[in-house]
Structure 1
Amino acid sequence: MNFEAILFDCDGVLVDSEPITHGVLRDQLAESGWDMPIDECMRHFIGRTVRSQAALIESRTGRPLTDEWMARFYARRDELLRAQLQPIDGALDAVRAAHAHTGGRIACASGADRGKLLLQLAKVGLTEWFGPHVFSGHDLPRSKPFPDVYLAAAQSVGIAPERCLVIEDTPTGVQAGVAAGATVWALRSSTGDAAALRDAGAAQLFDSMRELARLWRQKTPQAAL
């Protein structure tokens, strides 16, 4: 496990955005005619883009998923993220350690839209650590679970995907990292399913971002990381 670069997902790995984002989404879907508890909303949408679920939304609301609807969702979501977003416990230290251990060969690869991604990294003080190595699945031909965003991230840091470690928290994201050829470690969360993460191809599960430095020391040769 001689990893030469580390590629981080964002939502649920670096920032605690999922309850905020899905709370806004749940409320707006309820206004459109599809009322459900927040945990059900997260089961349907976590790790996926809203637009990728357009057919499901339209079948439940009886209305088209329009650009105007999406723009209203983004605006409401971003307002709350600016006001309430916090980093995942231990994430800032994990990113700093990864940057030091890899000589700066780290990237952020998210399925979220670029506006949200940049807002979130700036809000929690992570922008400087990733520099230009920030990638949104919305900017690529395919988003997660396809590998495009992780392939772009690996290319940006100049390391073959097979020599990269991906940090994820959803089965969809794990599938993307595995499809890219990387090794994937998955953070178990309160909304996560350990069996699903394993089935998606996660090589290692862990319970806190504070565990990462210890895991690297245990699982990599002395010369690595």
Structure 2
Amino acid sequence: MNFKAILFDCDGVLVDSEAITCGALRDQLEASGWRMTLAECMAYFVGKAVRDERVVIEARTGQPLTEAWMQAFYAQRDQALRANLQIIPGALAAVQAAQAHTGGQTACASGADRFKVEMMLSQVGLMDFFAGRIFSGHEMPRSKPAPDVYLAAAAHLQVPGSECLVIEDTTVGVTAGVAAAATVWAYCPLPDAGAALLQAGASRLFSRMSDLPELLLAR
């Protein structure tokens, strides 16, 4: 079957942002009393909304997760992203192929806040492909792993979830896509992550974003 819509996650799928964001988060948490390595921070937080981890953060830091704390994190994060963000190799061709495959029925459905998503897509030259079709988990009743952000994107495109392809890179995101009844392909540049992504419900793994155009043609 041909997919009628293709929905992309953003962080780790279109932009190489996860280590940058987690670096800023790790520094902010350490200043508040929760010390961990970057690898530990990424293992815990990648794919999750920071606000959704309020109980754990407050328990580990002994401090309330205030709006001022979040804004300080956002400022540090955004400064680091502006200085260091790069597009995922092959993402431009992947998005162009997805648009050709679906007649322009593509969207970006992220667990991140809208400002961050739009800033990143603009910075790497992908904004024109998704303008007006960007969906943030922060604006939904529930963020990933709930399916809300993918259901909202599919509804906007007027395509049933079952006729959508979701491109994800985390178990949290794969779970969300599967819960939206979509087919989920997982971008998995690290072989060690593949088993967990398949267990979460991904039906295909691919290790290079540049492989997506060929995979779509093979459908």
1:133 correspondence with 2:136: no
Matches within 5 A, 1:74-85: 74-85=74-85
Pairwise CA distance, 1:189: 3.4
Matches within 5 A, 1:167-182: 167-182=167-182
CA distance in 2, matches of 1:141, 1:71: 21
Query: Identity over aligned residues, as a percent?
Result: 59
Pairwise CA distance, 1:2: 2.4
In the other structure, the counterpart of 1:90 is 90
CA distance in 2, matches of 1:169, 1:184: 10
RMSD over aligned Cα atoms: 1.1
CA distance in 1, matches of 2:79, 2:153: 28
Residue 150 of structure 2 aligns to a residue whose secondary structure is helix
In the other structure, the counterpart of 1:124 is 124
CA distance in 1, matches of 2:205, 2:190: 13
In the other structure, the counterpart of 2:63 is 63
In the other structure, the counterpart of 1:102 is 102
Pairwise CA distance, 1:143: 0.6
Unaligned runs of 5+ in 2: none
CA distance in 1, matches of 2:131, 2:185: 23
CA distance in 2, matches of 1:33, 1:48: 20
In the other structure, the counterpart of 1:21 is 21
Pairwise CA distance, 1:25: 0.4
CA distance in 2, matches of 1:34, 1:160: 43
CA distance in 1, matches of 2:118, 2:63: 31
Matches within 5 A, 1:34-73: 34-73=34-73
Q: Which moved more, 1:154-163 or 1:168-177?
A: 154-163
Q: Does the Cα contact within 8 Å between 2:93 and 2:213 map onto a contact in 1?
A: no
How far does the alpha carbon of each residue in 1:20-70 deviate from its partner, in whole angstroms, 9 at most, with x for none? 100000011111111111000001100001111111111111111111100
Q: Does the Cα contact within 8 Å between 1:114 and 1:136 map onto a contact in 2?
A: yes
In the other structure, the counterpart of 2:144 is 144
Unaligned runs of 5+ in 1: 221-225
How far does the alpha carbon of each residue in 1:54-96 deviate from its partner, in whole angstroms, 9 at most, with x for none? 1111111111111110000001101111121110010011101
Residue type at the aligned position of 1:62: G
Q: Does the Cα contact within 8 Å between 1:170 and 1:192 map onto a contact in 2?
A: no
Residue 108 of structure 2 aligns to a residue whose secondary structure is strand
How many residue pairs were aligned?
A: 219
Tell me the TM-score normalised to structure 2 length: 0.97
Pairwise CA distance, 1:192: 6.5
CA distance in 1, matches of 2:86, 2:172: 23
Pairwise CA distance, 1:190: 3.7
